Amino acid sequence: MTSMPSVSASEVSGKRNARVLVVYTAAIFTSALLLFSVQPLFTKMVLPRLGGSPAVWSVAMVFFQSLLLGGYAYAHYLMTLKSRVIPVVIHLCLLVAALLTLPLSISEGWGTPPASGYAIWLLGLFAVSIGLPFFALAANNPMLQAWFVRTGHPDGPDPYFLYASSNIGSFLALLSYPVLLEPIFTLHTQNVMWTVGYGVLILLIALCGVLLVRSPAMTPAAVEASDGDAPAPSWAIRARWIFLAAVPSGLLIAVTAHISTDVAAAPLLWVLPLSLYLLTWVLVFQSRPLLPHAWMLGLQPLAIAGVMVLLAVGGEQNLLLTLGGHQLCFFIIAMACHGELARTRPAARYLTGFYVALSFGGMVGGLFAGLVAPFTFSWIAEYPILLALAALCRPASTREARGGSGLWAIAMVVAVGLIAASYWTGHTVEMLETNRVWLVAGVAVVAVLLAVPFGIGRWKLAALVAVGLMLIRVYPADEGRVETVRSFFGVHKIVVTPGGQYHVLMHGTTIHGAEKFQNDDGTPVTGRPETISYYHKDGGIGRAITAIRARKGAPLRVAVIGLGAGTLACQSMPGETWKFFEIDQSMVDTARDPKYFTFVSSCQPDMQPVLGDARLTFARELDGVYDLIIVDAYSSDAIPIHLATEEAMAIYKSKLAEHGAVLMHVSNRHLELASVVVGIADENDLKSWVYNEDSGRDGEYIFTTEVVLSAREAADVGHVAADDKWTLTKATEGQRVWTDDYSNVLGAVWRRLRNGDH
């Protein structure tokens, strides 16, 4: 009789270890995938409540980082329990309870935002709508790593490679959302897929729990041996962890805010910084880092200097280079900070406490950049502040303490002298303003020379960087005098051109309105202000208004969604009724102030705009009232998608008088939106005419305007139907119509790039 081959204990142990590694890696990867895919998914569901403002994403990040801290603290507490079974049972019960709240939806009672306090309202909405499932997901990463250590796996003493696996899942989730999920699936389908994924995750975590419970118990001696008898980290080290996590977390929000307001309000720009942020976590926690930490520390002063120069130059010279430059520098700075965290990480027994410190720092940085700064500063001041703090993230060394002091003192005297010179008059100020970029670049170069070869102390480097950044604020990149207005909905600049000839309203590099205050001969402009920028009488908007007015032959009733500088107030005629809808109170205040613009004070001094998101407020208007509805909310910003859907057009149509028309301003450097509007109009049985002609008068602040005029019949648009400057356009065959449940922003970006229009 042949005996069966015996299986050695080492083979059994090897198979068990392989199974543990596969299951735990799969669970952590899936959890991270769900954690970061829910963020853009649910934020997109919330965007229509607040006009599609990019600030919704900043507040969402604050919420997610805060709840991440709660999840990590919960995991840390559970892992203080000596029992293996109790943490598994408690966490599985939490996951199942969260599953019962799915699929994701906005809780009842949170449909209409308040008149103010949007950020606090949003945090409450997120908390009651997805707080429980996100909290459960947030706890998975540190808890599963701690379970993995307790299974006795050979890799248990250094389980941080699983953190890299987690961030790979996060990275893929974030990139796949705009590239794959959003263009292909509706929000409803995405929600169902996410709910199914959540159920699969519960099964994986249950399997992880079974493997933990069945693992042989680790003796205290084995635990001490695996940790190398490491002492507990001091409070000073924990505070350092918090600081190192807070700076890049705050920079993430600040960089995103900067490139979407002060450089270019292009869509989806938040995806790139957050992807790079996650990538740094993946790279620094590898056993063999692809980018050595010493390299990143050497490059960090160069990156800080690079941002200083980019801030001094501004964003209009080379948009792609500037965007790439900001994000490359952010990546290097984040790598240096996170590399320090990886270098100083504790032994495995202190793992959950380490993650609590990381998440607390992330929350602090997010709170500062996402909530405190917007209410404190009138511009994106948090960006340079965090940039100076990034210099303090460098490790201390004896070489730093004695290096470069003389050179630093000279540089500081020169830089402070330049700032003091801002209060002088005459040729000195003119010289400084003319050579501002060279001055800031000089300070940046000195900072690099001191930091790298001479090893100057990090506090001195931070001070020098701060002074250089003050130079940027004293001598701003914009020509002429600049005032900034900041609200929840972004930072707007009122630029007074040299000599005071024009006042220009800008959001980033995008002009939202302009008014001529002086004639070419230097005399003041008197009388009714001329409607320029996109609203000139010979442009698409002006021609459409004239045509509808001529067709009706009587005073018009007009609704305007979007106020801006108030330019359209001066398109009205005596006896007509023009009603404006605006979400941002700061824009109303700016348009009403004659020191900025006089359109409202000259043409409609008694204007009372309807405040709130226009999709909600306009829906309350009486049906069949308006001869013309002008939707003016798409001028190269992070657009309010919910105003360009089939359902939105149905609302506009219901408010039109019998022969009324809808005029949508779709000028945009980054997205092709005319075909989107034609498509949603076609779904509502409306015909559309597109106008897009180069004005050739940019020097006079009269710009090319792309608009779409939609109506039931050709007769409703008057002479537009026979004007060769307007093109009767049919819906694009095969192009999916945008709805409240589906939109494809990436497709609009691609069409703009393909057409070569900017």
Q: What is the 3-state secondary structure (H, E, C) of 471-502?
A: HHHHCCCCCCEEEEEEECCEEEEEEECHHHCE
CA dist 78 and 85 (Å) reads 11
The mean of the pLDDT values for the chain is: 81
Instruction: Name which of 180-189, 340-349, 437-446 the model is least confident about.
Output: 437-446
3-class DSSP assignment, residue 535: coil
Q: What are phi and psi of 623, to 5 degrees?
A: -75, 155
15-216 belongs to CATH 1.20.1250: yes
Amino acid letter, residue 142: P
pLDDT at residue 394, rounded to an integer? 81
Superfamily (CATH) of domain 540-755: Vaccinia Virus protein VP39 (3.40.50.150)
The average pLDDT across 199-212 equals 95
3-class DSSP assignment, residue 228: coil
The owner of tokens 């590239």 is: 179
Give the global pTM. 0.79
What is the sign of the dihedral through the CA atoms of 100, 104, 108 and 110? positive
pLDDT digits (tens, 9 = 90+) for 118-176: 788 888 988 999 999 999 999 998 899 889 988 888 877 777 777 777 778 887 887 78
pLDDT at residue 118, rounded to an integer? 79
The band of 64, judged by pLDDT with boundaries at 50, 70 and 90, is confident
Report the candidate in 676, 659, 656, 662 with the shortest Cα–Cα distance to residue 713. 659
CA dist 465 and 377 (Å) reads 19
Instruction: Name which of 354-358, 448-452, 552-556 the model is least confident about.
Output: 448-452
What is the sign of the dihedral through the CA atoms of 612, 638, 360 and 243? negative
Report the candidate in 257, 400, 251 with the shortest Cα–Cα distance to residue 337. 251
CA dist 625 and 558 (Å) reads 9
Report whether pLDDT(329) > 70.
Answer: yes
pLDDT at residue 41, rounded to an integer? 84
3-class DSSP assignment, residue 506: strand
pLDDT digits (tens, 9 = 90+) for 651-668: 999 999 999 999 999 988
Measured torsion, CA atoms of residues 469, 475, 478, 484, in degrees rounded to the nearest 10: 70
The band of 311, judged by pLDDT with boundaries at 50, 70 and 90, is confident
Report the candidate in 312, 341, 377, 170 with the shortest Cα–Cα distance to residue 248. 341
pLDDT at residue 403, rounded to an integer? 44
The band of 480, judged by pLDDT with boundaries at 50, 70 and 90, is low
Range with the largest mean pLDDT of 352-356, 503-507, 683-687, 700-704: 683-687
Q: What are phi and psi of 288, to 5 degrees?
A: -125, 95
Structural domain spans, the chain: 15-216, 540-755
CA dist 651 and 661 (Å) reads 13
Report whether pLDDT(425) > 50.
Answer: no
CA dist 542 and 502 (Å) reads 20
pLDDT digits (tens, 9 = 90+) for 28-48: 999 988 988 888 888 778 876
The band of 1, judged by pLDDT with boundaries at 50, 70 and 90, is very low
pLDDT digits (tens, 9 = 90+) for 463-477: 666 666 665 555 444
Report whether pLDDT(567) > 60.
Answer: yes
261 close to 491: Cβ distance less than 8 angstroms = yes
Report whether pLDDT(408) > 90.
Answer: no
